[in-house]
Amino acid sequence: MSVVPRMEMDQVLDLVNHYAPRPRAAAQDESKGYRELGAVLGDLASTFPASSEGALHAAAEDAYQVFLDAHTGHDVAPALNALLAAARPTPRLGPDGAVTWEVGDDGDPLRAALAVALLDWVHARGADRLGLCEGIRCADAFADSSAAGQRKYCGTVCLNRHKVAAYRRRAAEKKHDENEKKQDRGVGEKS
């Protein structure tokens, strides 16, 4: 048995958004290479056994499904339970009352760490605090820790892109309306 390393939610998001195929496809980044796990997770990466790129994609995609289900209003339990079942983590209560998670030799510590982090988040904050970015050409996962719980974008870059696009759309509509008014006045004068 080995202890499952604790992953913070920002590490879960970094791994999922970097290795899951769907967010990369939405950003049209499929042709870009993938960084090593250590570049994504920092020192935490050394606590996991070496994984193939395919295994990283599969684990990230399975975790991404939890965010997708939350975003679309579906129950996250089936996707989260599938991630837990594949990893097979076992909780252990320590003499100090702290809970640690372990996996057997045939378990997958990386999947287990993803599953446990998501389980902890859903238990503490709720699945409605997980989602996918609604930005232009973005489908990155996010976890909303704000007080209001109304987050729609993965970060400020996508939020700012949305605001700029909305401003330009309003400006174009205003210009179009002004041109129509000018044309209507011109038609009325000729009659």
Residues 169-185 pLDDT 10s: 788 777 777 777 778 77
The mean predicted confidence, pLDDT, of the chain is 89
Quick one: pLDDT band at residue 162, thresholds 50, 70, 90?
Answer: low
Strand partners, 90: 102
Lowest mean pLDDT among 22-31, 96-105, 106-115: 22-31
CA distance 132 to 154: 7
Residue 43, amino acid:
D
Domains of the chain: 2-154 (1.10.3300.10)
CA distance 27 to 83: 25
pTM: 0.82
